[in-house]
Amino acid sequence: MDTALPKDAVLARPHPVSFFEALCFWLKLGFISFGGPAGQIAVMHAELVERRRWISEKRFLHALNYCMLLPGPEAQQLATYIGWLMHRTWGGIVAGALFVLPSLFILIALSWVYLRFGSVPLVAGVFYGIKPAVTALVLHAAHRIGTRALKNAWMWGIALAAFVAIFAFNAPFPAIVLAAALIGHFGARRAPQVFALGGGHGGGQPSYGPALIDDDTPTPSHARFTRARLLRILLVGLGLWAAGMAVLVATQGVQGTLTQMGWFFTKAAMLTFGGAYAVLPYVYQGAVEQHGWLSGTQMMDGLALGETTPGPLIMVVAFVGFVGGWLKEVMGPDAVFAGAALAASIVTWFTFLPSFIFILAGGPAIEATHGKLGFTAPLSAITAAVVGVILNLALFFAYHVLWPKGFDGPFDAVSALIVAVATVALFRFKVGVITLIAACAALGLVIQCVRPLGL
């Protein structure tokens, strides 16, 4: 529904929002933020710009543009940015944390159910139906990002090169990101139009009435850039990271599972350009192939659980941490659940800490200018490369779904049919993620009831 006002309509500016009122909203958002980043950003726009008018359309989009340039979940970073703009540092911390915590607690509970009861026929039947849906979702993600990123032959070439690099040569994801960034940086000097970010929001945004933080609202004092404040934020942020790593090294050793998780997911947090699907191949390479924290099949199941919970999809890393902590018994065999929950919490901490640092440190510089952000060419090239990487991930998932016992085993025609139906539902009928997963889970249960599992 369009809530834009007629030109002659007049509304009063909203009253100032208390910290408690904002906290209640951010908590609510944490429980209703389904639908991936697009759905989460749409919810925030509808609530904050259209209905509550806490921030104007222009300021909202300006903050969003900055968040889209950063590695990490842009919807969570946008919530952090707006919370910080409204209520200083603690406002940003509360907004960003409450965007994540409900999902963390829900995933810990679901991960426990999965590990304890995943072999129960009914639960296994649910996952049998969900796995093909995940394959279709990854294909859809590659298409969605591709339609935005692959604007010309050069971008198609970058995507193809990235696909070949990871599929044929098993190139590490960070190397692909670095190569794409260098191509964008140097290529933009010769052909800037090739690497320009497409789209844009246009200049004629609708008006929803005066906002609390309006187009002409002066930048609050806490959001003004100073070198001293930047240095302070960086020191505190890096100090928190170093303190966390020091505790893990002291208690677990450098090669301890929790220490390795902290270091690995710090690196993963710096590579999350293009959304969670982009970094999943890197997480798979490290968590499954290198460290053996979980299996490829469990990784697919975790992605399915992540799709069904609120919060950013990158929260699938909490599942990875939980399963790894459970299987490695990081706190001993008598405290398996406690160790797994601790591992999930540590992974979440190291994954999201960089996002808070980016927003709290970089926000004042962004508020200082409402012009073009610049330096977008590397991001354009990285996003194009991400398309090829996600396509490789889709093929990987399809292989495990259609040939669950390897190419030497039988082809699973029923799973192939579910993949096809789910793909048509996403591309042709625009079915929502939750609806699709629920329908495929129900279908998996039906199949479980009419034939022995695993045939």
Per-residue model confidence as pLDDT tens digits over 262-291: 999 999 988 776 666 677 888 888 999 899
- How confident is the model at residue 371, as a pLDDT? 44
| Cβ within 8 Å of residue 296, ≥6 positions away | 284, 288, 396, 400
Whole-prediction pTM value?
0.75
Least-confidence region, from 61-70, 102-111, 426-435? 61-70
Q: For residue 4, what pLDDT is reported?
A: 59
Mean pLDDT estimate for the chain:
85
Please, which pLDDT band fits residue 237 given cuts at 50, 70 and 90?
Answer: very high
Which letter does DSSP use for residue 160 in this model? H
Question: Phi first, then psi: what are they for 9, rounded to 5°?
Answer: -75, 145
Judged by DSSP in three states, 55 sits in: strand
Between 322 and 119, the higher pLDDT residue: 322
State the pLDDT confidence band at 434, using cuts at 50, 70 and 90: confident
pLDDT score of 292 = 94
Q: What own/partner pairs with CB < 8 Å and gap ≥ 24 does 19-27 have?
A: 19/87, 19/90, 19/91, 19/94, 22/83, 22/86, 22/87, 22/91, 22/94, 22/95, 23/94, 23/98, 25/52, 26/79, 26/83, 26/94, 26/95, 26/98, 26/99, 27/98, 27/102
- 397-417 mean pLDDT: 88
